[in-house]
Structures are given as structure tokens and as C-alpha cells.
Amino acid sequence: MKLVIFYEKPGCATNTKQKKSIRDAGYFVIERDLLNNEMDKEMLYEFVKDKPVHEWFNVNAPKIKSKEINPLSFSKDEALELILKEPILIKRPLMVIGDNKICGFDSERIEKILNIKFQTKVSTECSSKLHFCPTSA
């Protein structure tokens, strides 16, 4: 079965467009609420482990936009604790595709895993890359 489990922020317009693109490619999408999930540290780490810690964070989260939280200031364990406590901080979506666990909507990686080519450019606004200077405070 062609299946994608998609952890999202309910009501996010970008996540809705991303799911539509996957469905349009012939895949069945199971939606999960990222803000109210049953993940523990180990489960969440499986999604983010291939990225630097600061890329685990959603740059559009209010506490990051206001500079209340600086994603560069956390160790792996500190970041996991924080984003589990405040899941709005997690870069989204999180997806399970077969044995692959993905953090953020990386079109090229998803196309490769699903062996598809998206018909239109898929927005990644909610999961854009952080552009912090490592030396900034």
C-alpha cells in the first residue's frame, strides 16, 4: 500500500497543500496532529536525527520569530525536551514513509523515496531552513 503518515499542525495551509501533492501522486495520507501527539524523546529523535539540532525548529514559531528562543543555543537533549514540551516549535511536517522518518518537507527527498515527480512546485514555507549565523547570540 502507498501510505504516508503525516504529522501536521491542524489548519496549516502549507501542510494542506503538501498533503494534496502527495495524494495527487497516488498515495494515501494518514493525518496526525503534531501538537497533540504521543511521541516520546526516542520517537521524535528518529525524525530529526539526520539534521543539525537548530534545524529541528520551526522558524515560523512565535517564540523563535520573536527571538525568545534561539535554536542555536540547545544541545540535542535540551532541544528534544523543549520541542516535546512545546510542539509548535517542531519543524513540520514530520512524515513516515515506509522505513523513512522525515522532518520538514524536502521535496527532492520525498520524490526520491516515493519514486515520483511532483506535478507542481510544493510549498515548504512552514518548514523552511533556518538561516541563523552560528556565531550570533
Out of 12, 103, 126, 133, the active site residue is: 12
Catalytic residue list contains 12: yes
Phi and psi at 76, nearest 5°, equal -55, -50
Collect all residues with Cβ–Cβ distance below 8 Å to 11 and sequence separation of at least 6.
Answer: none
Q: How far is CA 34 from CA 12, 25, 84, 87, 121, in A?
A: 11, 23, 10, 7, 24
Burial zone of 72 (CB within 10 Å; 0-12 exposed, 13-18 middle, 19+ buried): middle
Collect all residues with Cβ–Cβ distance below 8 Å to 73 and sequence separation of at least 6.
Answer: none
132, 52 Cβ separation under 8 angstroms: no
* Residues acting as catalytic residues: 12
